[in-house]
Structure 1
Amino acid sequence: MGSEYANRLNRQITEAAPWSPLLFMPAGFALLAYCCNRFFPGSQGSGIPQTIAAMDVSGDEKRSSLLSMKIAAGKIVSTLGGLCMGASIGREGPTVQIGASIMHMFYGWGPFQTAAMRRILILAGGAAGIAAAFNTPLAGIMFAIEELSKKHVFNANSSTLVTVIVSGLISLSLLGNYTYFGSSGAFLDWHTGVAAVLSCGIVGGVGGGIFSKLLTASSFNLPPRLAALTKNRRVLYAAVCGLFVAILGVCTQGLVFGTGYAPTRLTLEDSGVLPWYFGLAKLLATLASSMSGIVGGIFAPSLAVGAGLGDNLADLFPSLATHSAVVLLVMASYLSGVTRAPVTSFIIMMEMTDSHQMLLPLMAASVIASGASKLICPTALYHALAHKFLPLPQRLQGEGKSAQGELNPEK
């Protein structure tokens, strides 16, 4: 609810003074970056890499540098602040870290004493975070299994699965049974829609792979001078990123600000026509917002980028399939390309749009997209970013094994 108010406030400001983002967004990004670094270290960015790193940390000691109630509080305030500023961010990554932080608080109490129990708590909290963000309990469960526990054995008969399922159902009972993007009547005949599935899977996967490659490169492979700027002048760097997003927003009449929910829903309902540049502009705005170091997720903006690219594809090839079907397929494909979590991607799209009749096409397109993305960016985005949050000895150990050929982080 808070994110909706923040988005609404930003729209009101930009509608009243269209040029004002050029003034308040650089200052707002700088302030948010300063507060995150000064008062809430560990809260920057999506929050999913921190959660994965907390899962991967060896040993059973309790660490507060990645998951804590202080970080959760900073995550809430900073996410709302970023949405008020108009940053191209979502709430789903932050809710994963918030949920994991809340559950991690119970580690060390009662039966929650071992490293395995710590991972159970983090899994349950992360699953509830995704479920709460979009009211998609099944996607929350699959995200926990497919993404958070990728490096750990997941026993379907263990208490982990029970805890994750219960967390998703609790979220559903609190939020009610609504669909994030409404109900879509899109339909694609499986036998005659092979070309559409292939095309949408490749377009979405390539787009998601490019985004992942650029965001990973901005964290690890920047030129030395620019890398020094991002490390030593974080506030100034955030202000520059804010100015870039503001320019994009002014040029697109505010379409790239926020989560992108409104234009995405209009496109899905065939009731709005997006400009041809929306997908590319939203991708760049999301990339700049993520690079700035402020708090914010990339799930919702990625769905908006996918909607824009799907709209482009539907316009270029109107005979490929119905407009809404193409948009749905590219949205799932782009999300799969970014996250490399194809099962989560097609389930989340099915739950968010009530499009169960699109299950098989969404499934196939998401798997194709994940494969196409891997050719461009071999390392999964969240796991690449999680590496820098691991303790230094564990990072060096992983790098040493990689150098000896025992561990290849690109796989």
Structure 2
Amino acid sequence: MFSPSQWLRRALFWSGAIAVGLAAVGFAKAADQAFALFQHIVRHNSYWPFLLTPLTFALLAWLTQGALKPTRGSGIPQAIAALKLEDDAFRNSLLNLRMAIGKMGLTLAALAGGASIGREGPTVHVGAGLLYSMGRRFGFDDPAASSRFILAGSAAGLAAAFNTPLAGVVFAIEEMSGAFEHRMSGILLTAVIIAGVVSLGILGNYAYFGQFDIGLPLGRAWVAVLATGAICGLAGGLFARLIIPNEGGLRGLIGKLRKRQPVIFAAACGLALVLLSQLTETGLYGTGYDQAKSILEGHTDTVESFGLLKFCANVASYWAGIPGGIFSPALAVGAGIGANLAAFLPQANPSAVVLLGMAAYLAGVTQAPLTAAVISMELTANQQMILPIMAACLLARASSALVCRKPVYRALAETLIESREQAVAAEIREAELKLLPISDAEEAAGKAPNSGPDK
């Protein structure tokens, strides 16, 4: 028999999962509308992006300089960092309701401005924030309880965003926690199921990219597994390496430029995205969903270099420091690279190679092969490709590690944690100085006592 406290906790998980499902569905519809508005503007005048996109990037960079700084980027690193560091103030700064609302609003603004971003990472951030805030509101604010709410909210967010419940569970195990408590399994599964049911009830039983009846017979066609796993994995690792902060090299230079003039730098990134888009017929803006689906279906609307150009567009959008995820744009890059590889693999079904490219590139970026494999299978409602996709994702994970040793989300989360620890150390140091006598405090601060003018 459960205690009242246990029943309350379960009720909060259930109601929170419903809230996450509703938020994910509403966010998805709003994101489609926001990007549709941008597309309408582009159709009206193809030169408008030269003004609109850099201006939007600059505005978002300015808005995220202060209290809304935690809304930058994907949102998954924020959720991982909050899960790893049991610091109430740190968790609240990353996952409070203001951050959740700001994350959605600013991501929608970025899509309306043509940014090459996705909404799935932000949905994970929002899901973690909603459940975490609900738990705190009703007294479940001890570190262990808060961690469970964060983990369940993150998994529910991904499941509802893609309509992929199994991927939500795998994501929580592989990417978020790195471990799986036995007693947490029922709570996590329930949250994912409820969020998925909400999405299912509103949007229906759909596959994100539609259903694809394709396969890859065992034999020579499996050369495609080796090719996509190695090449897409290396490309994914390169992308991850480019967006992880570093003190030296190109990334160090980018970091210094962004820190020195964040608004101007963001505007320059927006202009770079527009210039790159001029090289294509369909553009590089938004999630890349339409282009990826078109490539999967065998259409030739996109240019042959779409994968490379979308790769650069994603880097530019992430370097700008604006809110937005990398899941959907990564799938679009993988589709483009897969289409290029299919031309050299006539023995394999082109759509099958494209699907392998999508899965392998996502696995290369995240270095989470199980999550990438399950997402790719659920997105296309395809079971025939289970073994080839898993093999390509495992190979991509190994290839990616040659370029980027640390998984991107964990590396970005560690950057957030290090920043917090440095801030806490500075606060402690400042407090210690205030407790010292004036002369000692001056000496500790590096000043000579009685440094005023001689009398």
Q: What TM-score, normalized to structure 2?
A: 0.82
SS in 2 for 1:25: helix
Q: Is the 1:139–1:344 contact (alpha carbons within 8 Å) kept by the matching residues of 2? A: yes
Give 1:184's aligned amino acid. Answer: F
For 1:395 and 1:162, locate their aligned partners in 2 and report how far apart those are by CA, in whole Å: 37
Deviation for aligned residue 1:249: 1.6
User: How large is the Cα RMSD of the aligned pairs?
Assistant: 2.0
Counterpart of 1:154 (choices 180, 192, 195) is 180
CA deviation after TM superposition for structure 1 residue 161, in Å = 1.8
Q: 1:291 aligns with which of 319, 323, 333?
A: 319
Deviations 1:120-144 (A, max 9, x none): 1111111111112111111111111
1:173 corresponds to 2:173? no
Does the 8 A contact of 2:82 with 2:90 survive in 1? no
- Are 1:310 and 2:338 matched, yes or no? yes
**What is the rounded CA distance, in whole Å, between the counterparts of 2:122 and 2:110 in structure 1?**
12
Choose the corresponding residue for 2:55, options 17, 27, 35. Answer: 27
Question: What's the CA shift for 1:147?
Answer: 0.4
Report deviation, 1:163.
2.1
CA distance in 2, matches of 1:90, 1:37: 21
Paired residues for 1:392-411 under 5 Å: 392=419, 394=421
Identity in percent: 42
Q: Is residue 280–residue 302 contact of structure 2 (8 Å, CA) maintained in 1?
A: no
Instruction: Report runs of 4+ in structure 1 exceeding 6 Å deviation.
Output: none
**Structure 1 counterpart of 2:113, from 81, 85, 94:** 85
Report the Cα distance in structure 2 between the residues aligned to 1:76 and 1:396, rounded to whole angstroms. 27
1:347 aligns with 2:374: yes
In the alignment, what sits opposite 2:134? 106
Q: Is the 8 A contact 1:337 1:373 kept in 2?
A: yes
Higher helix share: 2
Q: Please give the alpha-carbon distance, in whole angstroms, between the structure 1 residues aligned to 2:412 and 2:394.
A: 22
2:303 to 271, 275, 278: 275
Answering whether residue 395 of structure 2 is matched by residue 368 of structure 1, we say: yes
In structure 2, what is the Cα distance between the partners aligned to 1:109 and 1:168? 21
**Higher Cα radius of gyration:** 2
Rounded to whole Å, the distance in 2 between the matches of 1:14 and 1:388 is: 37
**What per-residue deviation string (whole Å, max 9, x for no partner) do you get for residues 85-116 of structure 1?**
11000001100110000011133455724322
- Residue 413 of structure 2 aligns to which amino acid in structure 1? A
Q: Which moved more, 1:309-318 or 1:265-274?
A: 265-274
Give the secondary-structure state (helix, strand or coil) at the position aligned to 2:371: helix
Quote the offset at 1:61 in angstroms.
6.2
Stretch deviating more after TM superposition (290-299 or 192-201) = 192-201
Residue of structure 2 equivalent to 1:400:
none
Q: Distance in 1 between matches of 2:364 and 2:258?
A: 26
Distance (Å, rounded) in 1 between the aligned partners of 2:302 and 2:343: 11
Take 2:276 and 2:197, find their aligned partners in 1: how far apart are those partners?
Answer: 39
Structure 1: state its 5+ residue gaps: 398-411
Write the distance in 2 (CA, Å) between the matches of 1:224 and 1:289. Answer: 17
Q: Classify the secondary structure of the residue corresponding to 1:252.
A: coil
- Match of 1:105, SS state, is helix
Is residue 2:236 matched to residue 1:208? yes
Q: What displacement does 1:396 show?
A: 10
Map residues 9-28 of structure 1 onto 2, 5 A cutoff: 9-28=37-56
